[in-house]
Structure 1
Amino acid sequence: MELTVSHRGQTYSLSLIPEDTLGVLHTKLEELTATPAPLQKLLYKGKSSRALDDQVTLQEAGLKDGMKIQMLGTTAKEIDGVKAVEDDKQKRERIMRERASKGPTKLRSTGSSSSNDLNYRFHKLLPLEHLPNPSSALDLLQRLSDDPAIRHVMQKYKFAVGILTELAPHEHPELLGLNVNAGQQIKLRLRTDRYDGFRAYREVRKVLCHELTHNVWGDHDNNFKELNSLLNREVAEYESRVKTGTNVLGYSGEVYEPSVEDSCLQTVGGSESSAVSLLEDSAEDRRRRILEAVEKRLR
């Protein structure tokens, strides 16, 4: 029985007999991919091996000669990385508990909760080194990780992610993102299909909000849709609050930035001559005048 197994863009050919068990197949795949057998999930002809016992033969499992199989699973190296992150988190939590047990110190906190900042974040950023420009991919992952609006929703809804990494265009080409084990790992399609650049930041961030929703809800049901919409609104509204002179249109999640003409009417509040002078000035001068007027109104 000749089988072809695809895993993360790599293809493996195996020769087995129909009487071999799924356990034998899982063992061979573990040797080839470093993915532990218990974490392997085989997809073929609309079926999955997850619900089958390892003692079931390949023939009984519905596998046939020449069949193509898609394998999902996390490698041992990635598991070690997540374990290291968890160990580091537990170490930090232990230090925080020890400090708390000693009572107040002379140091004053400048944040809301340092332990929360440590927990509810992306614990590791991992670009794919075998793809072009891994440094640029890391910069994009770092930008997402440091995005104030994303950090806000992660703190608010207590989202923690072990690894934030890439989803290569050839890996699950039908997907823009993937959440593994409710936040153990989130993969995002950062690159264009032809590997000639990176996707627009805001589009990638929307996919990230989608995958963060899977930390709570696995299926794309109404619960998922409501939380996903809420996260996108939270991101848009957070950004609108930190942008001086920006208005939010209800709860649509769309941010409205007034034009120069609108700003003259809405925020400057001066005479007609002041509006005309704004239009005659340079773009930088107009922005400065509008900003000053908005700050004055807010005060």
Structure 2
Amino acid sequence: MASFFSVNLSYQGKTIPLENLTTATTGAEFHGLVYDALQLSPTDSTLKVLLKGKRIEPDSTTAVFAKVPSNKPPKILVMASAKTSVEELNAKKQDPTIRGFDTPKTASASSTSYWGPHGIQPDKNYKFGRLQECPFHEFGHRPTDTTPHAFAARQLLQRLSTDPGVIAILQERQLVVGTLGEMDPIDDRLMQKKQQQHSGACLLGYNTNRGLRIDIKLRTDDLTGFRPYFQLVSTLIHELSHNWVGEHNTLFWANYGQMRLEYFMAHKRQQHALWNGQNSAMLAELPSALMQSQDKAILAFVQQELVQEMAQHHLHPNMIEAPLRQRYDELQATMPAGQRLGGSGTATAAGDKRNMALEAAERRAREQQRQKEENEKKGR
């Protein structure tokens, strides 16, 4: 004669007894009894039943219990999901930031995909250690349907971290940043606290422990989109400058201004390398007229930027004109000959004429040598 025993179902915080079980009860039979005990329908709900952390399968023909429990009734954890919710979840696209076990790791191949194969490769030593977007559940309030997903925020952080101009700054200044993260677009209490403690904080970003972590406010205040990329890069360079100087003094602004020059000139250097018909300056959304100019427009542009930014701290870029001009001249000297600025196209045209004259002289010399060799042969 079979021995009957009972178990306790733990469901939604309640304990429900389930009786008349035997050691012959199969997984399929057990699921049927659970449905009845919870007054649920198999057509509307899906159950997940766990015994000591092990799942009891709904179609199993194996007995659930090897022997009659000798002590108190075993506790069975039960979770129920509406089938419509499960189907909707299965129909959703896979999170592109999650790599499956059978998917090869291709981080190095995808890290510069936005900038194309001609982009500057990140340095193995001077780089951002990790990226961290702001998940929806950490927002100061619930996001709306028009709020870009966290996946898009991570892609934007990836774009910033692999920007050729940013990489050039990291390499030139030998900078290492532990984490490049997204600032919570609503809950800015941490940022406000840092503003009170350190004058080096910025409204659109902050630098923790001189590069241990940099956070950038990616999203607009209404959460409907991201801030302009040009502005985000400016904020990132601003925070990178705080790796060297905490205060917004003339030393900080000189350093920041030089880094801005390095950013623009890095893109200027790659203006002939196209990726899908665009160069890196176009992908970085830089003013086309600025990149095509053959005079000192980049230096003037950075100085004009600094007028407004330094005014908030009662300073003026005239105070740092010498170090900015010196850095510009250094960068200009390292530019390829065809890309050196300073003549509104005249220098380039003159260079072309000199090259043509040199080629003509070389052709005349080769012709004269050929004629001489032929005359010597005839003389013999």
* TM-score bracket relative to the smaller structure: 0.3 to 0.5
Using the size of structure 1 for normalisation, the TM-score is: 0.45
Using the size of structure 2 for normalisation, the TM-score is: 0.36
Q: Larger C-alpha radius of gyration, 1 or 2? A: 2
